[in-house]
Amino acid sequence: MAEYILLVADVENSGLLSKSSLEALSAAKRLVESIPASRFAVALVGEKVEAAMDQVATCGADRFLAVEGADFAQSRYGTDALAVEALVKAAQATVVVAPANSRWNRVLPGVAHRLNGRVDTHVTSFTIAGGNLEINRWYYRQRMEATLKRAQRPWVVLLESGFLAAWIGASGKAPIEKINPAITDSLRRTSAIGIKAPVSDQQTIRPEAELLFVAGAGWTKKQPDGQTHVPDAEKLILGFIRKTRSSLGSSKSLVDLGGEGQAILSFLSHLNQIGQTGATPRHAKGLSTCCHGEEPHTVGWRFISERRAINLDPNCGWARGKADVLYVADAFKVITLLNEMLK
Ligand SMILES: Cc1cc2nc3c(=O)[nH]c(=O)nc-3n(C[C@H](O)[C@H](O)[C@H](O)COP(=O)(O)OP(=O)(O)OC[C@H]3O[C@@H](n4cnc5c(N)ncnc54)[C@H](O)[C@@H]3O)c2cc1C
């Protein structure tokens, strides 16, 4: 079935599009190329859209639609939902593709409802079967994968990052068509008064990082000298994270220790937890340290392409097919040496 595909993306503070928006653009292009007689348009929302439109001017879209203005500088449900509703109607889109970021995950399900369409969130890939779109997503904490197709249109698809390479192409001059939805004061009831975020060197979760560094409970356990060395562990882990700009993950046991009144690594929270009841990040490489590699933890490594682990125990879970390489070694010593080398 021929589709009219609309890429919906938000303009970053830099004035350009994020990597995940460019990945969604790659997805829109791939759909157009794979579904006969299909076409696509780009739709941007932001305070100023020109630079971002020019960034993707040569992507091959039919139309470059935009909702622009101060009302759209920051994420706000009321104004964002109206903007996308107007864009989908203007394009008469049958499939809407957007990056699964916090802005669109919150807004687009409501837009699909307003348009009497359907939405699928956390989509991790898609296939074309007999010229028709089918999407893939995981359920039950990444344990079951489903393939779905839908007859209802418009079909809104929120794509997780990391499944396609970001679109790259020459910039140019895009012919922007501006859409002006009528924004009333009642839609402006919510206003963002600022952003509270950790200062950048305290930020340990970095979805864009090449490497995921995982700390396990072993860092807080008694070591061969019969003592715990939690302050040393803190220094070694933070030193490694800062030098490599990698993202910090944790096992559940380690983040739970705080609640059990034990010595803990102060910079870890449940947001760092990887696994069945934690996150399933997408990094090219992963390095696990002082973590046993049990199934409820390693299930969160499903999308990590190259996995390595450092553990004193040659019979740990990583040795049983969970890692590509297991270093049977003392992580305190290995990370001390690595940090020296990284100087
Ligand atoms: C329903 C359910 C859901 C769960 N969900 C999750 C989840 O989402 N994420 C998760 O992580 N867990 C989860 N768990 C818990 C999981 O089963 C494990 O208990 C947990 O992952 C163990 O954490 P750990 O490997 O850090 O700690 P431990 O099992 O205590 O392992 C510590 C490891 O450190 C090693 N070690 C110690 N010192 C050193 C050293 N100097 N150098 C190298 N290695 C060293 C030891 O050999 C040991 O293997 C879940 C469990 C259940 C029942």
The whole-number pLDDT of residue 341 equals: 97
The whole-number pLDDT of residue 194 equals: 85
Q: What DSSP state is assigned to residue 195? A: -
Pocket of ligand 1 (CB under 6 A): 216-218, 221, 223, 251-254, 273-278, 290-292, 294, 296-297, 300, 310-313, 316, 330-332
Residue with structure tokens 């019979």?
A: 315
Q: How far apart are CA 217 and CA 253, in angstroms?
A: 6
Report percent pLDDT > 90 for the chain: 85
The whole-number pLDDT of residue 201 equals: 62
The whole-number pLDDT of residue 142 equals: 67
Please tell me the distance between residue 296's alpha carbon and the centre of ligand 1 in angstroms.
9
Please tell me the distance between residue 251's alpha carbon and the centre of ligand 1 in angstroms.
6
Atom of ligand 1 nearest to the CA of 274: 9
Q: Is the pLDDT of residue 197 over 80?
A: no
Give the H/E segment covering residue 84: helix 77-91
Q: Which long-range contacts (C-beta less than 8 Å, at least 24 apart) are formed by 131-139?
A: 131/1, 131/35, 131/36, 132/1, 132/35, 133/3, 133/31, 133/35, 133/95, 138/280
260 beta partners: none
Q: What is the mean pLDDT of residues 72-80?
A: 96
Q: What is the mean pLDDT of residues 212-219?
A: 97
- Segment 240-278, tens digit of pLDDT: 999 999 999 999 999 998 776 666 788 888 899 999 999
Please tell me the distance between residue 80's alpha carbon and the centre of ligand 1 in angstroms.
42
The preferred substitution site among 225, 312, 316, 335 for testing ligand 1, maximizing ligand atoms within 8 Å of CB, is: 312
CATH architecture classification, 211-342: 3-Layer(aba) Sandwich (3.40)
Atom of ligand 1 nearest to the CA of 254: 26
Q: How far apart are CA 163 and CA 264, in angstroms?
A: 35
Report domain extents, the chain.
Answer: 4-188, 211-342
Closest CA to 46 of 7, 8, 90: 8
Q: Is the pLDDT of residue 311 over 70?
A: yes
The whole-number pLDDT of residue 9 equals: 98
Q: How far apart are CA 206 and CA 221, in angstroms?
A: 27
Among protein residues, the one with the nearest Cα to ligand 1's atom 45 is 290
Domains 4-188 and 211-342 share a fold: yes
Q: Which long-range contacts (C-beta less than 8 Å, at least 24 apart) are formed by 266-272?
A: 266/234, 267/202, 267/204, 267/234, 267/238, 268/204, 268/215, 271/205, 272/204, 272/205, 272/248
The whole-number pLDDT of residue 151 equals: 96
For residue 113, name the pLDDT band (cuts at 50, 70, 90). Answer: very high
- Segment 131-172, tens digit of pLDDT: 899 999 988 766 788 999 999 999 999 999 888 999 999 999
For residue 209, name the pLDDT band (cuts at 50, 70, 90). Answer: very high
Q: What is the mean pLDDT of residues 325-343?
A: 97
Q: What is the mean pLDDT of residues 280-285?
A: 92
Please tell me the distance between residue 317's alpha carbon and the centre of ligand 1 in angstroms.
9
Q: What is the mean pLDDT of residues 39-58?
A: 98
The preferred substitution site among 229, 297, 313, 337 for testing ligand 1, maximizing ligand atoms within 8 Å of CB, is: 297
Token reading at 333:
């010593």
Q: Which CATH number fits domain 4-188: 3.40.50.720, 2.60.40.10, 3.40.1590.10, 3.40.50.620?
A: 3.40.50.620
Please tell me the distance between residue 293's alpha carbon and the centre of ligand 1 in angstroms.
6
Query: Directed axis angle between helix 77-91 and helix 102-114, to 10°?
Result: 60
Please tell me the distance between residue 215's alpha carbon and the centre of ligand 1 in angstroms.
9
Residue with structure tokens 């995981």?
A: 138
> Count of residues for the chain?
343
Q: Is the pLDDT of residue 188 over 70?
A: yes
Please tell me the distance between residue 274's alpha carbon and the centre of ligand 1 in angstroms.
11
CA 188 to chain CA centroid, nearest Å:
28
Compute the mean pLDDT over every residue in the chain, rounded to the nearest whole number.
94
Please tell me the distance between residue 295's alpha carbon and the centre of ligand 1 in angstroms.
9
Q: How far apart are CA 92 and CA 81, in angstroms?
A: 16
Q: How far apart are CA 4 and CA 11, in angstroms?
A: 22
Q: What is the mean pLDDT of residues 316-329?
A: 96
Q: How far apart are CA 33 and CA 290, in angstroms?
A: 46
Please tell me the distance between residue 197's alpha carbon and the centre of ligand 1 in angstroms.
29
Residue with structure tokens 């687009």?
A: 108
The whole-number pLDDT of residue 291 equals: 98
Q: What is the mean pLDDT of residues 72-101?
A: 97
Q: Is the peptide bond before 154 cis (omega within 30 degrees of 0)?
A: yes
Q: Is the pLDDT of residue 199 over 80?
A: no
DSSP string, 25-66: HHHHHHHHHHSTT-EEEEEEEES--HHHHHHTTTS--SEEEE
Among protein residues, the one with the nearest Cα to ligand 1's atom 16 is 296
The preferred substitution site among 140, 221, 230, 256 for testing ligand 1, maximizing ligand atoms within 8 Å of CB, is: 221
Atom of ligand 1 nearest to the CA of 217: 26
Among protein residues, the one with the nearest Cα to ligand 1's atom 37 is 218
The whole-number pLDDT of residue 208 equals: 85
Please tell me the distance between residue 324's alpha carbon and the centre of ligand 1 in angstroms.
18
φ, ψ for residue 6 (rounded to 5)?
Answer: -120, 120
Kindly give the pairing relationship between strand 39-46 and strand 63-68. Answer: parallel
